Structure 1
Amino acid sequence: MILREFQRIKVVVLDVDGVLTDGRVLVTESGEQLRMFHVRDGYAMQEAIKTGIQIWVISGGQSIGVEKRLRGLGIECIFLGVADKKSLLQELIRNFDVDAGEVLYVGDDMPDLDAMQLVGLPACPSDAAEEIKAISRYMSPAKGGAGAVRDILEKVLKIQGKWPSTINSKSI
């Protein structure tokens, strides 16, 4: 059932606000908008990339800081300021010649809804909007910005036998 779906995943699509962050935005006096990311999510994204899983980030928000953080993790497919996530996702699936059944999309709110319905494995953090929870095939026990992405990517990599393990390392 769901485990088989994790086995097929070749692409993971992530929203930013509410998925990679807790959805809160700190606005400074100068108008700069700051977000906080969880380092464990970052680690899992780097591990996924190392194993050949593609990570695409699609967000309605725009932030130079967010883009720098994601590029620093090795993510190349970053799309910010996207109003129509569904159309962009359809274009990416076509351009990268990926089967939609091999795509996992992690979203948390209404702007993600239509795009999530295109993929084989829609997923969400535990604090996602009710409409997103209703269409998700997997709901992480973690909240957005608090390890949900780590939980989901770790599941994908473990089920595919790609998660780093201390069992495989030999101590001298």
Structure 2
Amino acid sequence: MTTPLADIRLLLLDVDGVLTDGSITYTDTGEQIKTFNAKDGLGIRLLMDAGINVGIVTARVSGALRHRCDNLGLTLIFDGIRDKAKALDSISADTQISVEHIAFMGDDLIDLPAMKKAGFAFTVADAPNEVQGLADMITDLPGGKGAVRQVCEAILKAKGLWETAVSRFLS
């Protein structure tokens, strides 16, 4: 049974294909370059400002990701993780937030176990059919192009917090 969005207390995000478009650029020295969407970043901040936790669970380790997380104030960062479902259990225990109240957003086959375990599963418009088939919600937008922002807005609206989040920009 899917948990209603209004009951979500923690949003966990994959990175490549969710927060980015899935492209990984390497410099001649081997440094990774990732491109993140500013709208996704604002959505994450709006969730956090509303008291909803946000974290990262990704298989890849990246300095660029660490910089982005620092910029957003994200402290729940689990990188180098292959077993994302196991990580979800560990995060649930550490945060005292039950798995039913955790949403997971992934985009590829490696994310399926965590998506299946989470209380609510999101994916992006350009995810494979197998991933879309397991998702409770598929964004209209592809990864790295505002899909995370769409998810953040959906959670805030379900909780009745969207107008409050927007009002601070209007006053």
Normalised TM-score (structure 1):
0.92
Shift of 1:167: 9.2
Residue 22 of structure 1 is matched in structure 2 by 21
Quick one: distance in 2 between partners of 1:26 and 1:9? 34
Quick one: distance in 1 between partners of 2:143 and 2:22? 7
What is the count of residue pairs matched by the alignment? 169
Q: Are residue 155 (structure 1) and residue 154 (structure 2) matched?
A: yes
Residue 50 of structure 2 is matched in structure 1 by 51
Runs of 5+ consecutive residues of structure 2 not aligned to the other structure? none
Query: RMSD of the alignment, in Å?
Result: 1.8
CA contact (8 A) 2:13 2:57 kept: yes
Q: Are residue 75 (structure 1) and residue 82 (structure 2) matched?
A: no
Quick one: distance in 1 between partners of 2:86 and 2:141? 29
SS of match in other structure, 2:87: helix
CA contact (8 A) 2:88 2:99 kept: no
Residue 90 of structure 2 is matched in structure 1 by 91
Alignment of 1:1-172 (within 5 A): 5-163=4-162, 164-166=165-167, 169-170=170-171
SS of match in other structure, 1:56: strand
CA contact (8 A) 2:57 2:84 kept: yes
| Cα deviations by residue, 1:21-79 (Å, 9 ceiling, x for unpaired) | 00011111111111100000000101111111011100001111111111210111011
Q: Which structure is higher in helix share?
A: 2
Normalised TM-score (structure 2):
0.93
Quick one: distance in 2 between partners of 1:168 and 1:116? 33
SS of match in other structure, 2:4: helix
Which 4+ residue blocks in structure 1 deviate beyond 2 angstroms? 165-170
Quick one: distance in 2 between partners of 1:153 and 1:84? 25
Shift of 1:166: 4.0
